[in-house]
Amino acid sequence: MTYQIALNFEDGVTRFIDCKPSETVADAAYRQKINVPIDCRDGACGACKCSCESGSFRLGDYIEDALSQVEADAGHVLTCQMYPQSDCVVRVPASSEVCKTKQASFEATIGDVRQLSESTLSLTLAGEALNKLAFLPGQYANLNVPGSTQHRAYSFSSMPKDGAVSFLIRNVPGGLMSGFLREQARPGATMSLAGPLGSFYLRDIARPVLMLAGGTGLAPFLAMLDKVVATGGSTHPIHLIYGVNTDADLVEVDKLEAFAAALPHFSFDLVVVSADSQQPRKGYVTQHLEPALLNDGDVDIYLCGPPPMVEAVAQNLRERAIQPASFHYEKFAASA
């Protein structure tokens, strides 16, 4: 038996390693040619101190000078004494370059391009190489724009399945990637991607979860819900508020309905800015943050949307004097 350990470096790069229950995370990393910070290997110096953000483990012998009880209670670990008892996510306080690893790159082919609305495109990539792709639900990849040296960052909108992954891409007038997808992309054409990247991902669900999506910011939540279904669901409520400008901008609602059918504790609301909307909830997402959803702060909030939306939600929470148990967000802006 082996467990999968996601090493999140401070420059946003994530690398996955396999670790045996009888093996320390530090030893497993070095076996797979990733030089995580380490010095003594005996739990005495603290040089390998990291944070475990998800998963269970046991710690071997160490001295308090290397890791205090307060630090241990806060989730800090010494990777030279960390033996996993499940899959884990470990935040490493060093860059991937310092640890002599790098962003993984993959070659794939275009499987499908669909225009879901005037504002949103769907892209599916497939290929044998993607069977080796691993990422945390919510993370993103850099996709190379074929015929150019440029890339664009997009969140995965599904977990890997049968060597395929998908993305939601905003249809930007004059946009390099969206222009390619609309006018030139053909099934079977090659496209490269690098990743995974980002610190926006679903942590262990230990309390109610509130997901807030703006436009194509829905993408990472589709991957998160995909993962929740695959792992057997959640006993805690998960509620998603999905906000767009017009009714025509609403996409993948059928997938949200399927998740609601598969997950008894999942629900969602659609919010549309336009006063002409046929949806019952109009305006901005902040106008629909009901007190019950905020649960007096005992809630984990995940937010993905354009910068004004992120700032508006943060301001709304401050005005209500709500301090959520955790608040994870990802801002995005369209590139021409």
pLDDT digits (tens, 9 = 90+) for 10-30: 998 999 999 999 999 999 999
Q: Report how far residue 126's alpha carbon sits from residue 108's, in angstroms, rounded to the nearest whole number.
A: 5
| C-alpha angle 102-14-213 in degrees, rounded to nearest 5 | 135
DSSP secondary structure, 14-30, as one string: EEEEEE-TTS-HHHHHH
Q: Report how far residue 327's alpha carbon sits from residue 302's, in angstroms, rounded to the nearest whole number.
A: 6
Burial of 177 (0-12, 13-18, 19+ CB in 10 A): buried
Q: Report how far residue 98's alpha carbon sits from residue 269's, in angstroms, rounded to the nearest whole number.
A: 44
Q: pLDDT 10s digit of each residue in the chain, 336 long?
A: 899 999 999 998 999 999 999 999 999 999 999 999 998 889 999 999 999 999 999 999 999 999 999 999 999 999 999 999 999 999 999 999 989 898 889 999 999 999 999 999 999 999 999 998 999 999 999 999 998 999 999 999 999 999 999 999 999 989 999 999 999 999 999 999 999 999 899 999 999 999 999 999 999 999 999 999 999 999 999 999 999 999 999 999 999 999 999 999 999 999 999 999 999 999 999 999 999 999 999 999 999 999 999 999 999 999 999 999 999 999 876 655
Under CATH, domain 104-197 is a member of which superfamily?
Translation factors (2.40.30.10)
So what's the architecture of 209-331 in CATH?
Answer: 3-Layer(aba) Sandwich (3.40)
| Domain spans of the chain, in order of start | 3-92, 104-197, 209-331
Structure tokens at 295: 């649960």
Structure tokens at 50: 């990291």
Burial of 232 (0-12, 13-18, 19+ CB in 10 A): exposed
- Looking at residue 58, its pLDDT comes to 96
Q: Report how far residue 169's alpha carbon sits from residue 335's, in angstroms, rounded to the nearest whole number.
A: 11
Q: Report how far residue 333's alpha carbon sits from residue 304's, in angstroms, rounded to the nearest whole number.
A: 11
Q: Report how far residue 39's alpha carbon sits from residue 42's, in angstroms, rounded to the nearest whole number.
A: 9
Q: Report how far residue 138's alpha carbon sits from residue 8's, in angstroms, rounded to the nearest whole number.
A: 13
Q: How many residues in the chain?
A: 336
- Looking at residue 288, its pLDDT comes to 97
- Looking at residue 296, its pLDDT comes to 96
Top-level CATH class of 3-92?
A: alpha beta
